[in-house]
Amino acid sequence: MRRWVLPCCLCLATARWLDYEESGATPGSSSAAAQNTELLNAMLASLCAGDTLFVPNKTFWLAGGVLLQNARNVTLHLDGTLEFLPGRAGWPEQEGVICNLNPLQPARAKRCVKEAIFIANVSKLTLTSTSGGTLNGHGKSWWGYLQYFFHGENRPRLLSIYNGTDILVEKWNFLDSAYWTFTALDVARMEIRHCTVSARVDKSDDHDLGNMDALNTDGFDVAGRDIHIHHCSVWNQDDCFTVQPRDRTGINADCTENVLVEHVNASGLGLTIGAVRPTPGHNCVRNVTFRDAYMLHTFKGIYLKSQNSPVEGVSGEISNVLYEDIVMDRPSQVPIWIGPAQEADSYKACSLLWPEVPFADCSPPGASMLWANITLRNIRVLNPKQSPGLVYGNPDRPMQNIHFENVVTVNPGLRPWGRSYYKCASWPLQLACSCSVLASSGSETLFVSVDPQRTFYLR
């Protein structure tokens, strides 16, 4: 067995440049994965403030369970590829409370996989590259409806950050994650730029059934405050750019707020808020802007979603959200969806089969959810295969100030809502909402909102 000599373990005043290969990592060999992982973890644990860990432009195999914790002012400079061994056989696992450390992890887990890379308790972290570094999760070996049946969501995130401040991520490419790709939970002051996410089963430029079985391959999931994501692109089979809530249990933010996502390409389940599930600590997303996005053949496009909770005394909020200058080109499902999350596995979720399949249920958002000040401006939806949109609030607590300004659908599909185009509903149908098409010229159908006092109108 090869031994490596770690750079001196005392933190000196001078910043160090630590070369992974020169320190003993073996490139190009998957049989070196376990040793490479051990070395990487040892090097990450030894980083001092000011240090840079450099991965040269070669491929290094890893086994999962990479950990960086309690670090300040460190840089990971990745010019090559970190490639994770395929498959769950031999993937490192862990037990106990650590499984629920990430509050977004399915809570039932007593034993869970380790993330591919987990970063916690960091400040002033930089993930960079000269011209592009890659993490490859070999997701294909984890995807599929059958695998989902057996393992559900107990799959590793490719890169998971928890409790971090002042973070810059740039020029990294995230390929084929087994599960969510990039999660930054409870962060403050983070910038992500010039990054890409790709999770696709084949080269088809559509989200067909074959590709959609790359389940839960979320792109960028972020929660916290003061977050800027720009010049990035995502092609995946779940939420593309997702703003997740925080509540009063948060460390760096008690509500996810001040998030700007701009100049992006996205194709998957869309530019998403939530799902926001009401909690005792007021789960919350506030002041979010998505602007200048191009969405080719996306599944959903603009997607704001809440979940229901069986717990008493909970509350939640989605407020002050702007979507501006967005083009969707031939989206395959309902392009604009504002209402309950459509999913398989949460309490009183809106069924994935709704509304096509009779008796499939779609409960409205709970009355404990505040929905307010949501504006869609200059949105063009070109040739959607389905009806343009849904706005679905709770009659006991109508959504407030929902504005559609210059939201144009060209050649809208007729399924499932026919010539009403939009489904605007509360449930049951004593609604504070009416939809009709006012202006129609040629194949263009224009939907504009009037100012609603408290309730949502679309005409």
Which chain residues interact with ligand NAG by CB under 6 A? Answer: 15, 49-50, 57, 69-70, 73, 75, 79, 120-123, 129-132, 163, 231-233, 251, 258, 260, 263-265, 287, 289, 294, 319-320, 372-373, 401
Burial level of 348, CB count in 10 A (0-12/13-18/19+)? Answer: middle
Residue 143, CB-side half-sphere exposure with 13 Å CA sphere: 25
**Least distance from ligand NAG to the Cβ atom of residue 208, Å:** 20
Q: Give the nearer residue to ligand NAG in terms of CB position, either 94 or 287.
A: 287
Phi (first) and psi of residue 32, to 5 degrees: -90, 5
Residue pair 336/267 in contact by the 8 Å Cβ criterion? no
- Angle among Cα 182, 274, 165 to the nearest 5 degrees reads 45
**Least distance from ligand NAG to the Cβ atom of residue 122, Å:** 6
Give residue for tokens 């592009």: 132
**Least distance from ligand NAG to the Cβ atom of residue 380, Å:** 15
**Least distance from ligand NAG to the Cβ atom of residue 259, Å:** 6
Which is nearest to 91 in space by CA: 173, 178, 197? Answer: 178
Q: Give the nearer residue to ligand NAG in terms of CB position, either 320 or 363.
A: 320
Assigned token pair, 372: 């307010």
Give residue for tokens 């740039």: 170
Q: Give the nearer residue to ligand NAG in terms of CB position, either 77 or 423.
A: 77
Q: Give the nearer residue to ligand NAG in terms of CB position, either 189 or 277.
A: 189
Q: What is the DSSP secondary structure assignment for residue 28, as one 8-state letter?
A: T
CA distance 406 to 235: 27
**Least distance from ligand NAG to the Cβ atom of residue 319, Å:** 4
Q: Give the nearer residue to ligand NAG in terms of CB position, either 129 or 181.
A: 129
Q: What is the DSSP secondary structure assignment for residue 246, as one 8-state letter?
A: B
CA distance 178 to 160: 13
Q: Give the nearer residue to ligand NAG in terms of CB position, either 332 or 401.
A: 401
**Least distance from ligand NAG to the Cβ atom of residue 261, Å:** 9
Assigned token pair, 164: 């971090």
The one-letter amino acid at 85: L
Q: Give the nearer residue to ligand NAG in terms of CB position, either 308 or 401.
A: 401
**Least distance from ligand NAG to the Cβ atom of residue 311, Å:** 23
